[in-house]
Structure 1
C-alpha cells in the first residue's frame, strides 16, 4: 500500500472521511482499475459537498473512460465552474475534442494555455488542432512557439515543417526540418525537405536529400518520382526516365508518375509514347483531373478538338492551374440550351492572352439573342469592351444580375469548334480610335523624326510568374543578330527584367515608349503604327493576331497546344506566322531564320514603296 492509499484508509478508519480524502481514495481506485470503487468515492464526496471540484472532475474523468463523453463534459464543466484550474480545463477540452467539437475544444485549450504558457506540449497540441480547423497561420505560430520553448521538440519541428510546406513558406519549413533531422532523421523527412529545397531552387541540396531518403528507404515510390521531376527540371532526361521507371517498378499503377512521364515524353515530342502512357494512367485512375487535362493538351495539340475541348474542362478540378470555381447559383451554359432573351455572363478564366483569343466567340453568343456581359481583367477591359456583341464590360469587383454564365475558355466547347471551323481568324477586334493612333504616330515621330523606315515591334518575354515562362521567354540579348537588320525596332515589352533593362539601355536604336502604354488599347494603337510585330508566345501576339496585324510568333520546341504541330501558320490568326524551335532551347536558329525573313520582307517592301522609303 502506497502513501496515498494509507492516507485514504486512515481517513475511513478514523470515521472522519472528508470530500478531499474520498477524492484521494477514488483516485487511487481509478489508477488501480477499480472503477466502481472510484465512482462510489466520488458519490460519497459529493454527498458531503455537492460542489466539490475534485470530485466533479474525477467523476467526469470516469465517465469519459467509460465511453460517456456527454456525461463527462457535464461533470467536468461543473468542476471548471467551481474552480477554473488548468487541469480541469484541459480535461474538458480533451472531452470536447473527442466529441468532434473542435472549435469549443480549441477555445478551452487556449484558456488552459493562459495558465500554462510555458507548456510546449500544449502549444504543439493547440497548433495541430488549429491546423485541423483550417486556421493554418495561427497553427504555424503555435507550433513555432512550442519549438521556441523546447528546441529539441521533434514533433513540433516536424509538424511545423509540414504545415509551413503546405502554406508555401518553404524557407521556414526547411528551418523546421533541419531541427527535426538532427533529432530523428527519416526517409520521409528528407523527402519533404527536398520538396522545399526544390521550390527554393536549391536543386543540388534537394537532390542530395532525395538520395538520402532513398538510401534510408528505397521502396518509397514518391521519392523516386520527385527525384525524377528534379532531374527533368534540370534537363537530365535519362536520369528522369530512370527514376520514373523505378517508381513504377514499385507501384505500376502510380498514375501521378505515369502523368509525369507522359509530360516529359510530350516535351520531347514523343507523342505516341505520351498518349500510351496517359492511357495507362487513365486505366489506373479514370477520373483523375490531371490525367484528363494532359490528355486534352495532347488532343488539342494534335488537332483533335472534338475530344480535347471536353477533356480540357477537367482544368476546373486542378488546384495547380489556379482556376477558381465562382460558385454561381445560375446555370453554366455550354451551348446546350437556348439563350435568346437572356443575360449571360462570359468571364475570363485564364490569362490575358487566352481572354483575347476566346473573345472571338462573343459576337456568336450575342447572335443567339443573348445580352452579353463580359468580365475581364482591367488591362484588357477597354480593349475587349469594344468587341461586337458586348453589352457591358466589367471587372470582377462588380457583377450585375445575369441568367447564365460561361467561362471564355469553355466557349470553343459550347460551339463545337473544330480545326476547320475556328471563327474570325481574320481578326475581330475593332480598330483603335483615330485619336489614340495619331497620338502614337506623334510620339514615334517626335522620337524618330520622319517615319520612313520599316517599323517592327518586339516582345521577347512573357509573365515571369507563368509556369512555362522558362520555355517560352528569352533574354533580349538573344535577339542581337536580329537587331542589326536595317529596320526600326520598337519595344512592346512591358515589365522589362533587370538583365534585359541593362542591355536595352545599351541599345538606343530600340525605341522604348512602353512607360506610356496604359492598357492594351494603347498597345493596339501602337501596333497599328508598325509594319510587323515579332513576339514570343505571350498576350501581345494574341493582340496583334486578333487585330489582324502582321505578327511573327516565336514558338518553343514544345509549343502550347494552340500552336499545333509542324506548321508555320495559325488557324486562330490569319495574319500570324510561326517560327518554331527545331531543338529544345534553341532560340539561336529561330532568330537566324527570322533575320533572313525580315531582310527579305524589308527588301520586298522597299521595292514596292520606293517613294516612301526614300522620302
Structure 2
C-alpha cells in the first residue's frame, strides 16, 4: 500500500510537470519494490523528458524485461532510441509495440519518423498512412506525412497534408512551419513566410520557424530583414549552427565580409564538423582576398566531407586567384569527378583553360555556361537549331545574338564577317545602346535591338559560341587592328563640344557596372587614381554611369571633363574615343570599344584578370592596340596607377608634377 501511494503521488506530480518531485516518489517505490514495472517505466519517462536518454533507455530495458507485454513501454523505448540516433533499434522497438497493440496509432507514427531518419521515405509514408487510418484526427501524423511527401518532392500533396493537420489543430505551430517549408520548395517564398509567421504567432519561441523564415527572405533578396530573423533564431537557440552559417551567407551577400566571417566561426564553434560552414568561410576569405587562408578553409571542408564538390570547385578558384592555374584545373577536375554535371565547375574550368591560352579545350568546356544557374537568364529558346560550325550555312539566314555584357558583344561581334563569308545572311541582335554603333558592322545584313520582333531565320548562334564554332586558337585570331568605326556625324558633334585640342587628350574609365559579379576587383574610385595623373594633359571622363562618390570627386576637380549626362549610347562613346590620344580604362566595355576601333588603349587589370587577358602579358592577342597594366599583388592598384602615370607623363609636354588628390 505504501508503494502504491508513492506511485500515485509521483504520477500526480508528474502530470503537473514537477519532474524532480515525481522522480523522488518513483525512487521511493523502487526502494520498496525494486522490480516495480510502473515505477521503472515512469522513471524512464522522467529521464527522457530531462534529456537523460542513456539512463532512460536503461530504465525502459529494465521495465520491459519485467513486463514484455506493455506496448506503451516499447513505444517510449523506441522514442529514446531515436533520440540516441539509433533508428534501426527504434524501429524494432516500435514493431514490438505494434505487435502487442495493432491499433497503436502513435507507434505507427513514431515508426514512420524513425524510417525518415533512415531516409526510407516511402516506407515512412506507409507508416504515417497506417497511423491516420487508425486515428483520422491525428494532426501530428498528418504533418509528418506532409514532411515525407515533401521529401518525395510531392509538394502539393505535402501542403494538403499540412493543411489537414492545421484544420484539425489550428494552433499547431509545427504544421504551419512545415507547410512553409513545402511552399518554399515550390519557390513560393512570400506565401511560405506567411506560414512561418503563423507558426511564430502560435509559438513565439520557435527558433526553427525564425530560421526558415530568414532563409525565405534571403531568396527574396530581403537580406536586412533576413538578418533580423536569423538573429532572433540565434537568440532563441544560441547553438543553432545552421542559423549562424546562413546568417554569414546573408552578411556576405551584403558585403559585410568581416562580420560574415565571425558568423561562420560561430557555426564552426558549435559544430566543428560543419563542412559547409568551412566552405562558406573560405568564400568570405576569398572575397577579402585572403586566398591562402581561404585554401585552408576549403581543405578543411574537404577533409570533413570528401565528396564536397562545391568545396573542390571553390578551392580551384582560390588557386586561380593565387595564379596557380594548373592546381586550379586539378581541383575543378575533382569537383567534376564527384559531380559530372556540375555546371559551375565546368564553367570555371573553361575560364581557367582560356586564361591559360588553351583555347582548343577551353571553348568546348565554355559551352557548359548555359547550364550554370547564374547565366540561365541569358538562355534563348528558339525553335530553330543552334549552329556550332558543323552544318553548311550557304544560302541560309542565321541569327547571331548577344548574351552577356556590352564588352562581350563588342569583342565577339568581329566574327560576323566570318559567318557571312560562309555564304550566310547574318542577322545580329544586340543590346539597344550598341545598335546604332554596330549598324554598319562588316558582314551584317541587319542589326536588331534585343526585344524587337525577329524576322525569319534558319538557325542561331550566341556570339560567345562563335570561337568554338570556328575552332579559334590563340595563334589564329582574326587579323587587323580595328573592326569598328565611329559615326561621322557623332564625331563632328563631339568635336564641337570639346573644342580645339591644345594638349594630348586622355579618356578615363575607372569603374564598370556596379552589378557585375567581379566589380569589387575591377572597379576603383576616381579619387584613388587622381593623385597619379600628371599635369599637361586634358582628361575626359568616358563614364556613362558615375557613382555618387565619384560625382563628388569630379565636382572638386573641374579640369576633368565630365560628360556622363550628355552621353546617350555607345555611338557617343565611340566618337569620344576617336578624339582621344589614349584611352585608359579598367576592364570594362569602353576598353573593348576603344580596342575594337584600333585606338591606343591602356587597361588596368587585377591580379587575377578576366580570362581574355591571359596571364603575365603586357599585350593582347585580341587587340594589337592594347597595353595591359597588371596588379603585382591582389588589391594593389597603386602600383598599376603609378606605372600608368609614368607612361602618361611621357605624353605630357612639358612634364608637370602630379595633381593633388582631393576627396
Equivalent residue in structure 1 for 2:466, among 403, 411, 434: 411
Please, which moves more after superposition, 557-566 or 188-197? 188-197
Equivalent residue in structure 2 for 1:380, among 404, 409, 434: 434
Superposition map of 1:541-552 within 5 A: 541-552=591-602
Tell me by how many angstroms 1:159 deviates. 2.1
Question: Equivalents in 2 of 1:425, 1:256: separation in Å?
Answer: 42
Equivalent residue in structure 1 for 2:515, among 465, 468, 474: 465
Please, which moves more after superposition, 535-544 or 270-279? 270-279
| Preserved contact between residue 146 and residue 157 of structure 2 (Cα < 8 Å) | no
Give yes or no for the alignment of 1:316 onto 2:370: yes
- Which residue pairs with 1:402 in the alignment? 457
- Which residue pairs with 2:505 in the alignment? 455
Size of the alignment, in residue pairs? 534
Question: Equivalents in 2 of 1:593, 1:169: separation in Å?
Answer: 42
Change (3 A) 1:560 1:238: closer
Change (3 A) 1:121 1:260: closer
Runs of 4+ off more than 4 Å: 32-35, 62-69, 93-122, 602-605
The TM-score, its normalising length taken from structure 1, stands at 0.78
Equivalent residue in structure 1 for 2:399, among 339, 345, 350: 345
Tell me by how many angstroms 1:146 deviates. 2.9
- Which residue pairs with 1:222 in the alignment? 276
3-state secondary structure, aligned to 2:460:
strand
Change (3 A) 1:442 1:197: same
The TM-score, its normalising length taken from structure 2, stands at 0.73
3-state secondary structure, aligned to 2:474:
coil
| Preserved contact between residue 305 and residue 419 of structure 1 (Cα < 8 Å) | yes
Change (3 A) 1:396 1:159: same
Change (3 A) 1:219 1:509: same
Superposition map of 1:49-448 within 5 A: 65=129, 103=156, 106=159, 120-121=173-174, 123-184=176-237, 185-321=239-375, 323-400=377-454, 401-429=456-484, 431-445=485-499
Tell me by how many angstroms 1:367 deviates. 1.8
| Preserved contact between residue 323 and residue 349 of structure 1 (Cα < 8 Å) | no
Change (3 A) 1:479 1:207: closer
| Preserved contact between residue 180 and residue 194 of structure 2 (Cα < 8 Å) | yes
Give yes or no for the alignment of 1:490 onto 2:543: no
Question: Equivalents in 2 of 1:559, 1:549: separation in Å?
Answer: 21
| Preserved contact between residue 166 and residue 176 of structure 2 (Cα < 8 Å) | yes
| Preserved contact between residue 398 and residue 425 of structure 2 (Cα < 8 Å) | yes
- Which residue pairs with 2:659 in the alignment? none
Question: Equivalents in 1 of 2:451, 2:490: separation in Å?
Answer: 28
Deviations 1:173-221 (A, max 9, x none): 2222223223333222222222222222333432232222222221122
Equivalent residue in structure 2 for 1:505, among 555, 580, 593: 555
Tell me by how many angstroms 1:109 deviates. 7.0
For structure 2, the residue ranges without an aligned partner over 5 or more in a row are: 1-100, 105-125, 656-663
Question: Equivalents in 2 of 1:603, 1:220: separation in Å?
Answer: 62
- Which residue pairs with 1:588 in the alignment? 638
For structure 1, the residue ranges without an aligned partner over 5 or more in a row are: 1-31, 36-61, 77-84, 606-615
Question: Equivalents in 2 of 1:64, 1:273: separation in Å?
Answer: 50
Change (3 A) 1:278 1:573: same
3-state secondary structure, aligned to 2:368:
helix
| Preserved contact between residue 64 and residue 95 of structure 1 (Cα < 8 Å) | no
| Preserved contact between residue 360 and residue 472 of structure 2 (Cα < 8 Å) | yes
Change (3 A) 1:100 1:514: closer
3-state secondary structure, aligned to 2:427:
strand
Tell me by how many angstroms 1:122 deviates. 5.1
| Preserved contact between residue 291 and residue 321 of structure 2 (Cα < 8 Å) | no
3-state secondary structure, aligned to 2:227:
helix
Question: Equivalents in 2 of 1:177, 1:334: separation in Å?
Answer: 48
3-state secondary structure, aligned to 1:570:
coil
- Which residue pairs with 1:521 in the alignment? 571
| Preserved contact between residue 334 and residue 414 of structure 1 (Cα < 8 Å) | yes
Tell me by how many angstroms 1:554 deviates. 1.3
Change (3 A) 1:110 1:276: closer
Deviations 1:260-298 (A, max 9, x none): 222122112123332333343344334422222222122
Change (3 A) 1:437 1:106: same
RMSD: 3.6
Please, which moves more after superposition, 395-404 or 485-494? 395-404
Deviations 1:308-344 (A, max 9, x none): 1111111111113455322322211111101222221
| Preserved contact between residue 315 and residue 323 of structure 1 (Cα < 8 Å) | no
Question: Equivalents in 1 of 2:534, 2:435: separation in Å?
Answer: 37
| Preserved contact between residue 96 and residue 104 of structure 1 (Cα < 8 Å) | no
Question: Equivalents in 1 of 2:157, 2:320: separation in Å?
Answer: 51
- Which residue pairs with 1:57 in the alignment? none
Question: Equivalents in 2 of 1:181, 1:95: separation in Å?
Answer: 24
- Which residue pairs with 1:573 in the alignment? 623
Question: Equivalents in 2 of 1:280, 1:248: separation in Å?
Answer: 11
Please, which moves more after superposition, 360-369 or 594-603? 594-603
- Which residue pairs with 1:475 in the alignment? 525
